[in-house]
Structure 1
Amino acid sequence: MVTSVRPWLTPTVARRLLSYELTRMVSAAGITHAAMGERLQVSRASFSQLLAGKSLPSRAVLEVVLGHLDALSELPRLADLLRLARSGPQTPSLGDRDLLCGLESYAHRIEVYDPLMISPLFGGGRRGLLLDAEQAPAVTWVVEEHALRRSQSGAHGERLRALRDTVTVQVLPWSRGAHAGLRGGFEVVHGASHTVVCEETRRVNLYHDHPAVVAEYTRLFATLRELALDPERSKVMLAKR
């Protein structure tokens, strides 16, 4: 079962991720909703609702869509998502984080930069189970020292100290001064077929998968790693929190 190794994939998250993946592939193929609807013998509006996640396709329709997109290699993964999306009632939504949680669940590598506060990925709870899963992604976390100090006490602090064994942590000390990363935190999620950057703002999450934008954030993350303490020195600092 998908959920045995991807504990954050609820029916709601699976539906959101399936919608994103199909929309991304249709857009990349340059096929209009009207043209795809005609191939499926449904209206443009019906196909648009399918892409938006307002309705779910049958497995047969999913296979036809992927065949037209020359993407049948994605059928096992998307069929798993479809099965999970249909497996139970819709659970409370996390809003714009639904997609991020879905992307994380299929990632093989995640890079996180936290300038002000600790990412929910590291705060325990159901989402934190991803880090303890059998097929957990390799995670590198660059965190500003002042963000770390805000979370140094209580159970949250214990959780952060435990991360030393599962996550590559690099603390960026405030003595480094101003740098480009201070404009905001972000997460780079490396999946099986593509990479997505997520920026969490006050009201919405912004998702970027254009190669040039992904490359820009990948370079920025590499720069932040160079500015930060190495993992061993970071572990020493984390142990003192």
Structure 2
Amino acid sequence: MAHINTLDPGASPLDYYGFELRRYREAAGLTQRQLGEIVNYTGSLVGQVETARKVPTPEFSERVDAALGTGGLLSRLVDLVLRSQLPAWFREVAELQARATDICAFEVHMVPGLLQTEAYARAVLGALDEAGLDDRTAARLARQRIFERGTPPVYWLVLSEAALHQEMGDRQVMHGQLAHLLSFQSNSRISVQILPFSAGAHAGLQGSFDVYRFASDPAIVYTEGYGSGHPTANPDTVRDCSLRYDHLQAAALSLKDSAELIRRVMEDRYGEQVA
């Protein structure tokens, strides 16, 4: 366990964040309790963040930046901190997503992390292991901040209809998740198409994959296994998966029909039921 007097700011992004938080708080002449009262958190939580025992959230960082006049330092650091909490094998993928100008995703079993609600993410991440679930959920949701950039990536998702029926958490969680998918209808940079059961055999039978495209670098295809990720810039693989994606988009429902199907499943399967 880190001790406040021996915290090494070079040990990790989390340690560096805690070191800077403590430095700015002390420069302002505030105790942990006093700062907590100002930002509406407990002094204990402030102390846990300062000693690298608790992962800060973007909201916490924004409030402390405002209270201490840090010029947004902690809000800039928190993305690095949260990314460091991702599994080591996934960090490269998070970096690719953060740099991509276009992301084309095909998902079979569940809504992908970039479009998950907090409740849905907790249900997915906690399926086998609830250890550190709050921090792992926060790290996953932080990846969605790429859509808050001045010029966010164009994100196109082809989602199997099966994912609408695979109940993660409970009916309330699923209702919220499908409503979240519908909320992107007016967003010209995020599009969701549903690949219906009626499509039958299709070009994505080998599994989920992403295609990342960049402003000046070669495109990359990403696939995932148990506890491992597999990004590749092999031109043959990129061409093959790009063609597969074109066929998946052609087989999927239109944006309008996809939204209607999502809404129908949300209401019929996960809506309020009268006994």
TM range, normalised to the smaller chain? 0.5 to 0.7
Of structures 1 and 2, the one scoring higher in RCO (CA 8 A, sep 6+) is 1
Q: Percent identity?
A: 23
Q: What is residue 52 of structure 2 aligned with on the other side?
A: none
How many Å separate the matches in 2 of 1:205 and 1:216?
Answer: 19
Match of 1:93 in 2: 86
Q: Which residue of 1 aligns with 2:183?
A: 162
Q: Contact (CA 8 Å) 2:84, 2:91: kept in 1 or not?
A: no
Distance 1:133 1:237, change over 3 A: farther
Kept in 1: contact 2:157–2:192 (CA 8 A): yes
Verify the 8 A CA contact 1:110 1:187 in the aligned structure 2. Answer: yes
Among residues 133, 145, 158, which one is paired with 2:149 in the alignment? Answer: 133
**Correspondent of 1:179 among 184, 194, 202:** 202
Unaligned runs of 5+ in 2: 1-11, 15-76, 118-140, 267-275
Contact map agreement 2:83 2:91 (CA 8 A) in 1: no
Partner of 1:222: 246
Match of 1:46 in 2: none
Residues in 2 aligned to 1:221 and 1:11: alpha-carbon distance in whole angstroms: 37
In structure 2, how many angstroms separate the alpha carbons of the residues matched to 1:90 and 1:191? 20
SS of structure 2 residue aligned to 1:197: strand
1:183, distance to aligned residue in structure 2 (A): 1.6
Alpha-carbon contact 1:109-1:137 (below 8 Å) kept: yes
> Is residue 2:164 matched to residue 1:148?
yes
Query: Using the alignment, how far apart are the partners of 1:118 and 1:237 within structure 2?
Result: 15
| Partner residue in 2 for 1:201 | 225
Distance in 2 (alpha carbons) for counterparts of 1:88 and 1:202: 24
CA 1:154–1:90 in 2, change beyond 3 Å: closer, same or farther? closer
Change beyond 3 A, Cα 1:171–1:89: closer
One-letter amino acid of the counterpart of residue 153, structure 2: P
- Greater mean deviation of Cα atoms: 87-96 or 230-239: 87-96
- How many angstroms apart in 2 are the aligned matches of 1:185 and 1:109? 17
**One-letter code aligned to 2:232:** H
Report the Cα distance in structure 1 between the residues aligned to 2:151 and 2:198, rounded to whole angstroms. Answer: 37
C-alpha change, 1:128 and 1:219, in structure 2 (3 Å) is same
Change (3 A) 1:188 1:89: closer
Change (3 A) 1:97 1:90: closer
Gaps of 5+ in 1: 1-9, 13-83
CA contact (8 A) 2:160 2:195 kept: yes
Aligned counterparts of 1:148 and 1:128: Cα–Cα separation in 2: 20
RMSD: 2.7
Pairing of 1:75-94 with structure 2 (within 5 A): 91-94=84-87
Aligned length: 160
Match of 2:17 in 1: none
Q: Secondary structure at the match of 2:259?
A: helix
Is the counterpart of residue 108 in structure 1 residue 98 in structure 2? no
The aligned amino acid for 1:146 is: A
How far, CA to CA, are the matches of 1:89 and 1:224 in structure 2?
Answer: 33
With the length of structure 1 as denominator, give the TM-score of the two structures: 0.59
What do residues 96-125 of structure 1 show as CA deviations (whole Å, max 9, x unaligned)? 221111111111110000011221111142
Q: How far 1:88 sits from its partner (Å)?
A: 7.4
Question: 1:204 and 1:128 mapped to 2: Cα distance?
Answer: 21
